[in-house]
Amino acid sequence: MDIYNHELYVTCAEPNGKGEYSVVKLTMGSTSEEWPYNRYTWENRTNAISHYKGNQFILLTETGAEGEEDKKIYKLCIVHFSAGKVVVDQTKYFMNTGYEVLQGINYSDKYGLFIVTTKKLEYFPNGDVQTSGSRVLHIDMSRTKTMKFKDGKKYPVLIPDFAFNNELDESKFFSFEMESVAIDRNTNNMIVSVNANSPIAGDNGKHPGEDYIYRFSSIEFK
């Protein structure tokens, strides 16, 4: 999600089971129990949203089946919203590097684009998932490289230029999953939201994880 011009933008999966997705814009500050909102639909699964420039936003989308991350194609779509629809102005493809599950994104003119990725391991027979670490990638949106994908076609691809790794510390956490990222405008530190699961004797990590906000005081952007 992201906030721009006193309006909150969130990505949603429609509850009709038809694989339809949308972006919902909520007008903040209303005193009524339900904020006024507008819904903009489109056909692509959407992982995250961040404001880009003016009336444009970046949507992180993907194609491919669940559990087949090696076959997925990730796209960063620069879009605007009109007449209840998401309108794509530009598409740039993204080459994921190592950590297969893409989470939140955050963009600013000053610092560029950050993407949170997580490595997941199927741990329990019932399908419960253990996360083994997270990584924040940085991307310069102005730099692309032409690459051939598995479908044989060539696309302009964004390549991460550096990353911040956070490997799982098994002495402190059974599972540690970064979910979103932001840069504190006052301190210039990186801040991430995390869902973490601390070890409990005999529990094997099956108790619910807890949400945290972490500030990386050693990472400062000028």
Could you read off the pLDDT of 110-155 as tens digits, one per residue? 888 998 887 765 544 445 555 556 788 888 888 888 887 767 788 8
Distances (CA, A) of 22 to 31, 44, 79, 193, 214: 25, 9, 12, 23, 29
Q: So what's the pLDDT on residue 141?
A: 84
186 in the same domain as 82: no
Distance CA 210, CA 196 (A): 5
Low-confidence ranges of the chain (pLDDT < 50): 123-126, 201, 205
The predicted model scores a pTM of 0.77
- Half-sphere exposure at residue 187, Cβ-oriented, CA atoms within 13 angstroms: 10
186 in the same domain as 221: yes
Number of domains in the chain: 2
Q: Is residue 135 part of a domain?
A: yes
171 in the same domain as 83: no
181 in the same domain as 215: yes
Q: So what's the pLDDT on residue 120?
A: 64
Domain that holds residue 68: 1-94
Distance CA 46, CA 206 (A): 28
Tokens of 85: 């629809």
* Helix H or strand E encompassing 168: none
112 in the same domain as 206: yes
Domain boundary residue among 75, 94, 113?
Answer: 94
Q: So what's the pLDDT on residue 152?
A: 79
Q: Is residue 52 part of a domain?
A: yes
Q: So what's the pLDDT on residue 126?
A: 47
Cβ–Cβ under 8 Å, residues 156 and 144: yes
111 in the same domain as 62: no
131 in the same domain as 57: no
Q: Is residue 149 part of a domain?
A: no
15 in the same domain as 110: no
Residue partners of 115: CB distance under 8 A and separation at least 6: 60, 94, 102, 103, 104, 105, 136, 137, 139, 160
Tokens of 72: 């997925």
Distance CA 190, CA 125 (A): 36
Distances (CA, A) of 158 to 25, 47, 145, 151, 222: 28, 17, 6, 18, 23
Torsion angle in degrees (nearest 10) through CA of 160, 163, 169, 173 = -60
Distance CA 23, CA 17 (A): 17
pLDDT tens per residue across span 66-85? 555 556 677 889 999 999 99
Q: Across the chain, what does the average pLDDT equal?
A: 77
Q: So what's the pLDDT on residue 70?
A: 56
Strands 85-94 and 154-158: parallel
